[in-house]
Amino acid sequence: MTIRKEHVSVTEEGEHIFLFTLENGQGIRVNILNYGGTITHIFTPDKYGLSADILFGPENIQDYISEQYRENCHYFGATIGRYCNRIRDSKFRIGTTDYILSSNDGLHHLHGGCTGFDKAIWEAETHQTENTVALILKHFSPDGDQGYPGNLRAKVTFTLNDNDELITEYECTADRTTPVNLTNHSYFNLAGDLSKDILNHEICIPAGHFTENGPGLIPTGRFTKVENTVFDFRKSSVLKEKISGLPGGIDLNYILDHGISGDLKPAVRVSEKTSGRVLEIFTTQPGIQLFTLVTGPYPIKLKGNPDPGQFAGLALEPQHFPDSPNHGEFPDTLLRPGDVYNQKSIYRFSTL
């Protein structure tokens, strides 16, 4: 087990950006920037033992911190907060008080707003044991940040172990009641050849329902059964067989069958036969967003292909439901003073 630190850049404000490399004895290698808590690369071996990067995103590390990327980003690999996904009309109410958030998706608030956690430079420290290496990132979000109430302290721990698992653990505290919903926004392509699309990936999601979307991908509040729809992945299905008639692909929050128990439960299994790679995600979250990447145009060069097709990557985001602050029937996302927000997801890599 090894962990390395490389200096990447320094901002005009004098903040240093570092790239951390976590590696285990089986050839799993993970690169993470303290800028945005961003996973930039995950190298895993295929069924022949050949290692390749399985994350789609910018080709050059410097592009992650460029102004072009900040203005046109797709959140490649980033830690998302304070609230991942959308909040309708960029507002919510707590008690009798209305809060107005920054709008960055038309009228709506998306992935933490104009300057979310994905654009923060996190404090970083490392930790190592005989069987694990870990990167611990911390970020302070002040009262009023993007319109959210309360001073919030966030911590994300990325741990790579010798069982070929990357573990993400989220912890937050706040001095006022505030919505919190953190996730990671990596786009996977298990082929390892990032010039190829993801249409031959097989996906299984243990979810009998999804949150129905209205205009702007805002939930209507209704839970829709996946039965007899193309969105049914309860049995492992080849992606292209499901979305051949969906020119816009899929962008849905699946309601995981394990509910809100808080225990680690299976959320998704993805495999790719040619490479033999398998990714399984386990999470304490009640939902997972399945998003098949929609093309730019992109102002930066991306891995594998300067002009990638629509289905170049697959985002799998363990989360609470979109717009929960405006839906009392959804699982609660309010963090209250004295409580601790804790969520955990495990990304397990293997081969067929």
Instruction: Read off the pLDDT of residues 73-117 as tens digits, 9 standing for 90 and up.
Output: 789 999 999 999 999 999 999 999 999 999 999 999 999 999 999
112-126, 268-282, 288-302: the lowest-pLDDT one: 288-302
- Predicted confidence (pLDDT) at residue 296 exceeds the cutoff of 90: no
- Predicted confidence (pLDDT) at residue 297 exceeds the cutoff of 80: no
Residue 209 in contact with residue 225, Cβ under 8 Å?
yes
Number of residues that this document lists for the chain: 352
CB burial readout 94-114, b (16+ within 10 A) else e: eeeeebebbbbbeebbbbbbe
Using one digit for the tens of pLDDT, what is the confidence trace for 136-188?
Answer: 999 999 999 999 999 999 999 999 999 999 999 999 999 999 999 999 999 99
pLDDT of residue 299: 77
DSSP annotation of 76 reads T
* Alpha carbons 153 and 346: distance in angstroms, whole number: 22
**What share of the chain in percent tops pLDDT 70?**
97
Using one digit for the tens of pLDDT, what is the confidence trace for 40-69?
Answer: 999 999 999 999 999 999 999 999 998 888
Q: Which amino acid is at 349?
A: F
The model scores a pTM over 0.85: yes
Strand, coil or helix: what is 351?
Answer: strand
Average pLDDT over the chain, rounded to an integer: 94
By CB atoms closer than 10 A (0-12, 13-18, 19+), residue 12 is exposed
- Which residue from 18, 22, 19, 74 is spatially nearest to 44, judged by alpha carbons? 22
pLDDT of residue 177: 98
- Predicted confidence (pLDDT) at residue 308 exceeds the cutoff of 70: no
Q: Per-residue pLDDT averaged across 326-350, rounded?
A: 97
- Predicted confidence (pLDDT) at residue 282 exceeds the cutoff of 80: yes
Strand, coil or helix: what is 3?
Answer: strand
For the chain, how long is the longest CA-to-CA vector? 60
- Predicted confidence (pLDDT) at residue 205 exceeds the cutoff of 70: yes
Confidence band for 244, pLDDT divided at 50, 70 and 90: confident
Q: Per-residue pLDDT averaged across 321-330, rounded?
A: 97
CB burial readout 252-278, b (16+ within 10 A) else e: bbbbbebeeeeeebbbbbbbbeebbbb
CATH class of segment(s) 2-351: mainly beta
DSSP annotation of 103 reads P
pLDDT of residue 178: 98
pLDDT of residue 294: 67
Boundaries of every domain in the chain? 2-351
**Residues labelled catalytic:** 185, 317
